[in-house]
Amino acid sequence: MAILNILRYPDPRLHKVAKPVTVFDAKLEQLVADMAETMYEAPGVGLAASQVDFHEQLLIIDTSDTKDALTVFINPEIIWASDEMQVYDEGCLSVPGVYDGVERHARVKVRALDVKGLPFELEADGLLAVCIQHEMDHLLGKVFVEYLSPLKRNRIKTKMQKEERGLQREEMLRAQGRRF
Ligand code: K1U
Ligand code: ZN
């Protein structure tokens, strides 16, 4: 298994629209295993393939306290959503350290395929419903900060770009240290 690199906002690759998964093979199972290891290590409760630069409709979620209830959603579709809405303080592994309220449907019913290509349906509320909608947005190339005001979004973008420059500088110094 392997820890994958999680793209950080505002990386333009986070805005690619994912294509349906058509091949269910050992390579797909390996990607799911690597994504799960990456999500648990982060730690997070969800991860979309788009966040690890794989632009097919695949996402994983585990909102359990015991971290032993991984659900894999392939080619997911929301087939019903409640009129009732709820606001939840969301986070995102692609925007570390940023949490803000987003309004979404309080309950959703999803149809998806599992890693073997078998169809299933699931009705969700609470954090699971939030997470499904958040991860499905990633597959459409949308990051949760796009629900925030332009002012907040620009502040977040500037903060992330500054952090990115710091990370690149650290990486350069580490590489120089290895050379000398
Ligand atoms: O980056 C992601 O898409 C994953 C994201 C999922 C999510 C969480 C909360 C609301 C909406 C979407 C995260 O997992 S952020 C990290 C997080 O919330 C968390 C981390 C450890 C324990 C519990 C929560
Ligand atoms: Zn996210």
Cβ atoms of 85 and 106 within 8 Å: the answer is: yes
Active site residue 135: yes
pTM for the predicted model, two decimal places: 0.96
Selected catalytic residue, list 41, 77, 135, 170: 135
Is residue 65 within 8 A of residue 113, CB to CB? The reply is no
pLDDT tens by residue, 9-44:
999 999 999 999 999 999 999 999 999 999 999 999
> Average pLDDT, whole number, for the chain?
97
Question: Does the CB atom of residue 130 touch ligand 1 within 6 A?
Answer: yes
Mutation to probe ligand 1, out of 11, 41, 45 (largest number of atoms < 8 A from CB): 45
Q: How far apart are CA 98 and CA 87, in angstroms?
A: 16
Neighbours of ion ligand 2 (CB under 5 A): 92
Q: Could you tell me the sign of the dihedral formed by the alpha carbons of 175, 98, 44, 33, in that order? A: negative
How does DSSP classify residue 144? G
In this prediction, residues 94-123 reach a mean pLDDT of: 98
